[in-house]
Structure 1
Amino acid sequence: MVSSRIPKIHVVKIVKKWHISFMEAKEMAKPVYGRGKYQAHQNYIDYMGLIVKHPNFKGMPNATSENGKINWQVSSGKSTSFYKYYLERFEWWVKKANSLKVLGKGNSDDRFSITARLVSPTGYRPCRLCGKSQNVGYFYLNHVLTEYLNRETKTSLFSKKMPIDEAIKILSGIENEKQIEERLEKIFPERVDFFKKLGFSKEAFEKSNYIRSVYLSPGFMCNPPDRLDGFHDYCHLCRATKDPGRSPENLKSYLHDRRVFELWSDGDWLIADALYNSAGAGKCYICGKKLKKISPDHVGPLACGFKQLPLFLPTCGPCNSSKNRRMFLSDIEILIDYEKRTNESVASWQVQPLWDKYKLLVKNDRDAKELSDYMRAMQDFYLRTLYSLFENGYSEYLTTILHPEYALFKVKFDKLDSSDLTFASFSKTPINTKLRNSLSNRIIRIAFEELMLYQGKSIVDRKVRKIYVDNFSGKIDEVVTEAKKVPLSQDMKNWDKAIKANISSAKKESNISSLRSKKIDSKKYTALSKKLRQVFSILSGSTAIPLS
């Protein structure tokens, strides 16, 4: 954290540089972020001075006051005095995007973000907190590329947030030049033209940093016209730990267990997540270790197709990780008891026939593991079937499987014990806020993005037992053939375009919100839904699990 004390020499520099009074300079030297928790770094203050005078930002409305003070931020809040400048700056960004011939109109299709990265004088800027210079665009490894490179090279040399040029240097010590070129062309087809001009170099990625990639993260998020230069104050290194809005407590209000969306699970995920986030001090039920905060373990693993349920066991992190998606006999017994108490199946519909067929036949831990392995294979087949529907243009249908409407409620538990996450009862209350509506759109975006990533790894890579391989492609073809009986309407095409568009997350969620305002006619998909269930019912019926 930057010291709260303002060095006098910094103030004097500002006085000389901007020809203002000492008090004005002192005020200018201590801009704070958000709730006033952090002071701006001197490098950032100097950067602000560079930007307001740079020709790339010529004509920026209300860039400075008469006394020379930089007006770095405007507000989109209509009730604030800065709103008129927000509108003026919005128009400035529109004109700038037009002058650069960025495709689209207004702020559509990520235009402002692309423009901000194109007009950045150097492609780098300092963080307001740490003062370190970071690339403003897509230049840093995200978790997807990190895992891919470590897996492909059979090393652990690559890390999240690593600059791409450092990753290339590491690759050069492992692979030959031709292998690296082929790999980079495969990962970054959208940058091939830059590779041809500049080679597979740092400069190629610097010049193309405005191009979105599912494998790279930006050094700074964009937010034109809020900030004068179009970027958030925090760099990607500080944002997760220093941004007040991303504190663990605040994130609980809108971050939920992604796995339920990644795995397209049934169940009321809101209730389960509210319970999950209530974890407190307790004891691991496996090793007995006392914990400041338990790691809740889903009794029915989501990866095996179980529903998202308010049913957890308290574990420590290591025991939870080692247990992974494996079930024990005791887990089976807990799940069966839950069904008896609630009169509700614990399994999502795609694995329910298999669960119902074998759950009472499990006699020991080995049987429990066999059942979980087979259910995992069925869940894998389900996700690959959904991807085939997605690939063939049926995104609209797939959204009917998700339950984003659960986001519009809040949950309260009665007599909750945070040490083991048991409770007497719960209640749900409607809550229709901007944040909750945003979450409901985010759920859909995450589900589709993860579906695409899931398909990218083979059955072997996902360590799924090859149980259904012989019937796999044929059954998927049956489902797709049934789907094609539903003609692709314009609404369906609009959904497909919105989901597959290579645009910012915020813009994609905005497009999803617009599409959701028009009710989907689910009746046209009745036959397709019936076919899906029929396929999984047949597979379950023909499956013989070798139990004791």
Structure 2
Amino acid sequence: MAKKGAKKYNYDANEKFIEYEEEIAKNPAYEGMPDLRLDDGSIQWEAPSNRGSGKFQFTHNKRLSWWKKKASQVGISTSANHWISTVAKTIHPTGRKPCKVCGNVMDIRYSYLSSNFIKRVRKLDYVDDTFEISDLTHVLDFIVSFYDTYGAQIFDDLPVLFKCKQFPTFSEIPNSIDSWTDWLDKVYIAAEPSMLGPGAMSNAPDRLDGFHSFNRCCRSNADKGRSKENLASYSTDRRAFENWVDGNWITANKLMGYISSNSKIKKEPCANDGDGHTHPRPCSADHIGPISLGFSHRPEFQLLCAPCNSAKNNRMYYSDVKHLIEAESKGEKVVTWYAQSIWKYTKDKVFDTETALRLTRVMRDNRNVAMMLLNEFLVNKHYLFLLTFLNLSYANFDYKLNTAEINNHIVKANFSDTASTLKYVNIQKIRKIRIAFESLAEYANKENRNGYLFTNDSIENLKNSALDNLEDTSRDIQQINNKLISILDYDDMKDIDLEEFLNEIDYELIENYPDFVKVKNTMFKIMDMTAKTLSDNWDDSRYSRE
């Protein structure tokens, strides 16, 4: 929290940014920074060049001299182009910083997709709107997701996508995801190519750390309704939903990519075709059970045209409910752990369009309770326990699509799997862990969240019991958890540290650790209590409104 004596602008700063300021001010890399603190002890973060008077009138010039001395110390010539930004990147202790406005932590390097790069991706005939990218997408996240979704065919197009003045050809890079990921991280990003942009612009000596206080996410604020911070917030919610549900997330992604790239499927009509409206083709993949409501990842999608997909959003059709009930009767798992009870208590109450929409609203409230419950364990730093919800074992295999059948506008696939020995296995896991933990924290901390919250004495007692059980785990488990905390906490998480951690642990053994299983059963009880209350309120105006 901001200190009472802090400068006025700090009261509006995100808490992560305020903590970051203090960490930077105390870091040895910035030792000797002129006029570091104001008379009240607060940090003088800004040193603008246009101060006309006052005690700190010449702070800007003094700090410029400091940056020149620092350049000499790290071997960078002040006559070189962009020397001061190079120094700022070189001495920065973590390479990542939070945004002053929203707290979103971003890479300070040139590692985010440019608008031109995104246009190139969108022009590929197998990429449709279901593949989510923006100028807030990190290039390493992009290439992992791109490969997850579209497979080896991307290697034919990567040289065209990444081509720029600095890199006109790419013949030396093998067609493997390991090779491309490594090259992008170590070579391409370092060259600061035009196809990428930084998470934070250089702003030394005006800012103490040498970077603009507003990250890429919040630099643009011309249109508040569609501002980048709001779009990033929506994306954060979606990532939280996708990463904290059950099911094979890899085969689901692969089928989605197959649907958008298969020429035969592109000719298929919309599931709503025949209702008297125009339904443009090609159609895109729609989750029959929305992930955002607590349904599982499954290699099955229905085909909807762009207008229908947009209009449906995260709502349930009556036909969706009937289809999912039928799939469940055949032994398929259609809902994730936290939605099992609410689905069980309410699915038979759906008999038309209105009640399907009512189910949507009820399940949305159920999901919010579950996400906030998970956040309780995040806040209390039971990271190892939370890791067991991420289904990381699916990444241990390579998946080959054997068949994909289209029946009544629904595409369902069958995959075979073989054990994978690729380094890419850990790349997938690292990305999933990082995004899952970051998005959960951001989801829970979003200001003005109008989400349903439910609790009572019994639920609070169960929560406390679960937290106590995790505090009493074995010394070995606590040591492993503490190591994971040291990797994931703060803003200096390094992929290599997380990779070493994953190589050292037995994930399946941890998943089945008795105390973890016991706590999960407690969480099931909490969600069952929540579901009963929601089901009892089925006719409440909150859910039955038109």
Output the TM-score relative to the length of structure 1.
Answer: 0.56
- Which residue pairs with 1:266 in the alignment? 246
- Pick closer, same or farther for the CA change 1:250–1:533 going to 2, 3 Å: closer
Deviation (angstroms), 1:361: 1.9
CA separation in 2, counterparts of 1:274 and 1:235? 22
- Which residue pairs with 1:254 in the alignment? 148
- Pick closer, same or farther for the CA change 1:279–1:469 going to 2, 3 Å: farther
Deviation (angstroms), 1:252: 3.0
Quick check: 1:409–1:431 contact (8 Å CA) kept in 2? yes
- Which residue pairs with 2:421 in the alignment? 432
Deviation (angstroms), 1:415: 4.2
Which amino acid is the alignment partner of residue 513 of structure 1? L
The equivalent position to 2:472 in structure 1, one of 485, 505, 509, is 485
The equivalent position to 2:109 in structure 1, one of 208, 217, 220, is 220
Q: Does 2:178 align with 1:284?
A: no
Residue deviations 1:494-516 (CA, integer Å, cap 9, x gap): 12222224225534543443443
- Which residue pairs with 2:525 in the alignment? 534
Quick check: 2:338–2:524 contact (8 Å CA) kept in 1? yes
CA separation in 2, counterparts of 1:267 and 1:333? 20
CA separation in 1, counterparts of 2:362 and 2:149? 31
- RCO greater where, 1 or 2, for CA within 8 Å and sep 6 or more? 2
Q: Does 2:395 align with 1:393?
A: no
Quick check: 1:305–1:350 contact (8 Å CA) kept in 2? yes
Residue 97 of structure 2 aligns to a residue whose secondary structure is: coil
- Which residue pairs with 2:168 in the alignment? none
CA separation in 1, counterparts of 2:427 and 2:451? 34
CA separation in 1, counterparts of 2:143 and 2:427? 18
The equivalent position to 2:344 in structure 1, one of 352, 356, 379, is 356
Which amino acid is the alignment partner of residue 309 of structure 1? R
Deviation (angstroms), 1:424: 6.4
Quick check: 1:384–1:455 contact (8 Å CA) kept in 2? yes
Residue 402 of structure 1 aligns to a residue whose secondary structure is: coil
> How many pairs does the alignment contain?
358
Deviation (angstroms), 1:268: 1.6
Which amino acid is the alignment partner of residue 197 of structure 1? Q
- Pick closer, same or farther for the CA change 1:181–1:524 going to 2, 3 Å: closer
Residue 286 of structure 2 aligns to a residue whose secondary structure is: strand
CA separation in 2, counterparts of 1:247 and 1:481? 36
Deviation (angstroms), 1:371: 1.8
The equivalent position to 2:362 in structure 1, one of 374, 390, 393, is 374
Identical columns (%): 21
Q: Does 2:302 align with 1:313?
A: yes
- Pick closer, same or farther for the CA change 1:248–1:413 going to 2, 3 Å: farther
- Pick closer, same or farther for the CA change 1:446–1:247 going to 2, 3 Å: closer
CA separation in 1, counterparts of 2:88 and 2:500? 25
CA separation in 2, counterparts of 1:179 and 1:318? 47
Residue 44 of structure 2 aligns to a residue whose secondary structure is: helix
Q: Which stretch has the larger CA shift, 193-202 or 212-221?
A: 193-202
Residue 299 of structure 1 aligns to a residue whose secondary structure is: coil
Deviation (angstroms), 1:427: 2.6
CA separation in 2, counterparts of 1:498 and 1:247? 19
Quick check: 2:97–2:107 contact (8 Å CA) kept in 1? no
CA separation in 2, counterparts of 1:539 and 1:509? 35
- Pick closer, same or farther for the CA change 1:276–1:505 going to 2, 3 Å: farther
CA separation in 2, counterparts of 1:434 and 1:469? 46
CA separation in 1, counterparts of 2:422 and 2:403? 24
CA separation in 2, counterparts of 1:299 and 1:469? 33
Q: Give the unaligned 5+ runs of structure 1.
A: 1-177, 222-231
Residue 360 of structure 2 aligns to a residue whose secondary structure is: helix
CA separation in 1, counterparts of 2:317 and 2:455? 23
Which amino acid is the alignment partner of residue 317 of structure 1? A
- Which residue pairs with 2:451 in the alignment? 464
State which structure, 1 or 2, has the greater radius of gyration over its C-alpha atoms.
1
Residue 344 of structure 1 aligns to a residue whose secondary structure is: coil
Which amino acid is the alignment partner of residue 412 of structure 1? L
Which amino acid is the alignment partner of residue 285 of structure 1? A
CA separation in 2, counterparts of 1:331 and 1:394? 36
Residue 320 of structure 1 aligns to a residue whose secondary structure is: helix
Q: Give the unaligned 5+ runs of structure 2.
A: 1-6, 26-35, 38-42, 50-59, 64-83, 99-103, 125-138, 151-234, 261-265
For 1:97-136, list aligned pairs within 5 A.
none
Residue deviations 1:68-127 (CA, integer Å, cap 9, x gap): xxxxxxxxxxxxxxxxxxxxxxxxxxxxxxxxxxxxxxxxxxxxxxxxxxxxxxxxxxxx
